[in-house]
Amino acid sequence: MKDLWFFLKLFKPHGAWLAGGISLSLLTALASIALLTLSGWFVSASAIAGLIAIDGNTLVFNFMLPAAQIRALAISRTLGRYGERVVTHEATFRVLAGIRSWFFQQLIPLVPGRLSALRSGDLLSRMTADIDALDALYLRLLAPAVVAAIGITAVTVFLAFYAPLISLITGLMLMIASIWVPWVFNRLGRAGAEEIVILAANFRIRQLDMMQGLADLIANQAYGRFSDKLGQFSDLMINTQRQNNRLSAISSAFTLLLSQLTLLMALALAAISFKDGLLSGADSALVIFCVIAAFELVTPLPQAMQMLAKTQKAARRIRQVTEMLPTTPQSNQPSALPDRYDLQLNEVSFRYSDQQGRVLNNISLTIPQGRKIAIVGPSGSGKTTLLQLIMRYYDPEQGSILLAGQNIRQLDADELMSCFGVLSQRSQLFAATIKENLLIAKPDATATELNAAVKAAGLEHFIGYLPEGLDTWVGESGVKVSGGEARRIALARLYLKNAPVLILDEPAEGLDSDTERDVFKALAGFAKDKTVIMVTHREAGLGLVDVVYGMEQGDLCEL
């Protein structure tokens, strides 16, 4: 339960909405019970009054007052039910939005070191389905439990004024239906509820894998095999869900059985009390109808408690991610960013895990502000890892990295990233317009700044041919533009950020010779007064730099 309690604490900012939803739920439930109870009394009292009148006796019977009360209760129940739906769902949406925002905030320090160990489909499942599963915590667990507790108390006290023994039996049966039955079916359904969370996550992972690799699967005639495997997961999920639904049906039937047994005992006791003159005919009907209505309070609890394990499992999966320790812990009192951008690496060594060998071996390197260097070497030699250490995606296992003589561990992570402009072989274009992709680098950029970045990146003619110009949609991962234009958009974004240190990670990878030449020509003018650190395994672009270093199996030397 500690996982659920953790998330209940996150509900606090929305306490007013949550309390409002519970209050309306309670008002609706009590109005529903009171409506059926009063209606039963009114019909019986009216019938008895009619029978007495037939016998020739007169009876004063206030017809208008209970009729008005019934109308008021009916209206209250209708309005309460509508208000309850609006407020409880609004409260739930606000809570889930808050949890999503909190979850993303927890993910930021984990990028990229920790998140790289998670599969994208699994992470997506935690961000969507697992957080969505937390809606049951309020809608199906907290609110119904509070309403049932208060409602059972109110019904038991009310019945005690008319028939104490019926009140005792009804209260006992309601307690069994609200505590023992949910507990039993929670135990019975726990394994299936947890299993459905894992199966659903694995199903989404395989779905995402198939979507991302669809072209390769078709080309290698492997689509059928992957599709069959996905179908097996689907069948397993359906069978597990069928078992869960069977338990839900049994729990509902058991609750109904308890309600009918309680009604039978209440009928027998009411008849005895009527015979002994302890209850009038109308009051007997009032008691019976109150017993019938009271079980509406506990009907949703067994099914909700059966799926408690699902909510707990989802909460645990979310916390497993958010409780990961970042690879680069932040300083409690970060230092201010220095005015200069001289970089110095002192005997830096690094490995990704204790089970792997070193990727970098005692690297020492000094890069004065404005110096332009290139690091060449084969794939896997540690070039990109060195860049990631400089930007503090990871911390060195040994040694230190200094910015203007100050250890970058002591700097604020966000401020440190403002020093770097990055152009890599996989610069991400988002499913948005060209303008929106550029504004990622500088959200408050003016039209003049945007046009200057577009011109500097050589995009002016390309955008001029587009009917919608900068408002052209680039599609998922930039699928609607060519690879060269996508790289130019990333280059324009680099210009717009205008950082003092440029990190170029294989910037010409995948480009044709003409585009490659244009990209480096544009970079040469832009990087004139900036520090440039470029890694590549090709000779293209080396005319941009002052010094070339070679890297082989984690060792660095000047060429």
- Say yes or no: 237 and 355 in one domain: no
Residue 156 domain boundaries: 2-322
DSSP annotation string for 51-107: HHHHTT-------HHHHHHHHHHHHHHHHHHHHHHHHHHHHHHHHHHHHHHHHHHHH
- Say yes or no: 315 and 354 in one domain: no
What pLDDT, on a 0 to 100 scale, did the predictor assign at position 59? 56
Task: Work out the average pLDDT over 146-166.
Answer: 92
131 lies in some domain: yes
Of 322, 353, 382, which marks where a domain is finished? 322
- Say yes or no: 376 and 261 in one domain: no
CB of 369 within 8 A of CB of 531?
A: yes
139 lies in some domain: yes
- Say yes or no: 36 and 118 in one domain: yes
What pLDDT, on a 0 to 100 scale, did the predictor assign at position 203? 84
Gap between the Cα atoms of 159 and 176, Å rounded: 18
Structure tokens at 354: 């204790």
- Say yes or no: 449 and 412 in one domain: yes
- Say yes or no: 395 and 266 in one domain: no
440 lies in some domain: yes
Structure tokens at 464: 């001029």
Which of 53-57, 260-264, 295-299, 371-375 is the least confident region? Answer: 53-57
- Say yes or no: 40 and 150 in one domain: yes
Q: Is the pLDDT of residue 153 over 90?
A: yes
Place of tokens 């005997």: 347
Gap between the Cα atoms of 174 and 187, Å rounded: 20
What pLDDT, on a 0 to 100 scale, did the predictor assign at position 1? 66
User: pLDDT tens for residues 342-365?
Assistant: 899 998 898 887 777 888 888 888
- Say yes or no: 277 and 416 in one domain: no
Task: Work out the average pLDDT over 546-550.
Answer: 88
CB of 32 within 8 A of CB of 293?
A: yes
- Say yes or no: 283 and 375 in one domain: no
**Average pLDDT score, the chain:** 85
327 lies in some domain: no
Q: For residue 359, with 0-12 CB atoms within 10 Å meaning exposed, 13-18 middle and 19 or more buried, which class applies?
A: buried
Q: Is the pLDDT of residue 56 over 60?
A: no
The kind and range of the H/E element at 420 are strand 420-424
Q: For residue 428, with 0-12 CB atoms within 10 Å meaning exposed, 13-18 middle and 19 or more buried, which class applies?
A: exposed
- Say yes or no: 429 and 496 in one domain: yes
CB of 147 within 8 A of CB of 22?
A: yes
306 lies in some domain: yes
Q: How far is CA 441 from the centre of its chain?
A: 26
Gap between the Cα atoms of 140 and 25, Å rounded: 12
Give the CATH number of the domain where residue 535 resides.
3.40.50.300
Place of tokens 């039955």: 181
Place of tokens 């739920």: 25
Structure tokens at 229: 């495997």
333 lies in some domain: no
User: pLDDT tens for residues 34-46?
Assistant: 999 988 888 888 7
Of 293, 322, 351, which marks where a domain is finished? 322
Number of domains, the chain: 2
Residue 367 has phi, psi (to 5 degrees) of -125, 95
Radius of gyration of the chain (CA): 35
Which of 53-62, 289-298, 328-337, 383-392 is the least confident region? Answer: 53-62
Question: 430: which DSSP letter?
Answer: -
pLDDT confidence of 220, banded at 50, 70, 90? confident
CB of 294 within 8 A of CB of 33?
A: yes
The kind and range of the H/E element at 30 are helix 15-54
- Looking at the chain, the whole-number percentage of residues with pLDDT higher than 90 is 17
334 lies in some domain: no
pLDDT confidence of 528, banded at 50, 70, 90? confident
- Say yes or no: 279 and 368 in one domain: no
